Amino acid sequence: MTRGAFIVIEGLDRSGKSTQAARLLERIEAASKSVQLLKFPDRSTPIGQLIDSYLRSRSDMDDHTIHLLFSANRWEISSKIKSLLESGTTIICDRYAFSGIAFSASKALIEESSPPSSSPLTYEWCRAPDVSLPAPDLTLFLDISPEQAARQREGYGEERYEKLEMQARVREVFARIGKEIGAEGWVTIDAGRSREEVEKDIWEKVSPLVEGVNGPVNALWN
Chain residues binding ligand TMP by CB under 6 A are 13, 40-41, 55, 70, 95, 99-100, 103, 159, 161
60 vs 124: CA distance, rounded Å:
24
What is the closest distance, in whole angstroms, from the C-beta atom of residue 130 to ligand TMP in the complex?
A: 8
Minimum CB–partner distance for residue 99 and ligand TMP (Å): 4
- Cβ of residue 188: shortest distance to ligand TMP, in angstroms? 18
Interaction partner, residue 42 (ligand TMP, Mg ion, none; CB < 5-8 Å by kind): none
Pick the closer one to Mg ion by CB: 13 or 137.
Answer: 13
For residues 211 and 79, give the distance between their C-alpha atoms in angstroms, rounded to a whole number. Answer: 22
Q: Binds 128, which of ligand TMP, Mg ion, none (CB < 5 to 8 A, cut-off by type)?
A: none
CA distance 135 to 144: 24
> With contact defined as beta carbons under 8 Å apart, do 20 and 189 qualify?
no
Q: Let me know how long the chain is.
A: 222
- Partner interacting with residue 103 (select from ligand TMP, Mg ion, none; CB below 5-8 Å by kind): ligand TMP
Sign, CA dihedral 165-48-134-90, equals negative
Q: Are 70 and 40 in contact (CB under 8 A)?
A: yes
For ligand TMP, give the closer residue by CB, 33 or 145.
145
Closest approach of ligand TMP to the CB of residue 211, in Å: 28
Contacted by 40, from ligand TMP, Mg ion, none: CB < 5 to 8 Å by type: ligand TMP
Q: Which of residues 4-43 bind Mg ion (CB under 5 A)?
A: 13
**Shortest Å, Cβ 160 to ligand TMP:** 7
Q: Judge contact between 170 and 123, C-beta under 8 A.
A: no
Q: Which is nearer to ligand TMP, 126 or 202 (CB)?
A: 126
Q: How many CB atoms lie within 10 A of CB 84?
A: 22
How many whole angstroms separate alpha carbon 210 and alpha carbon 27? 10
Least Å distance, CB 115 to Mg ion, is 25
Q: Which residue, 6 or 40, is less far from ligand TMP as judged by CB? A: 40
> Which is nearer to ligand TMP, 31 or 219 (by Cβ)?
219
- Between CA 43 and CA 211 the distance in angstroms is 31
Per residue in 130-142, is it b (16+ CB within 10 Å) or e — as a string? beebbbbbbbbbb
Would you say 47 or 150 has its CB closer to Mg ion?
150
Q: Which residues are at the interface with Mg ion (CB under 5 A)?
A: 13
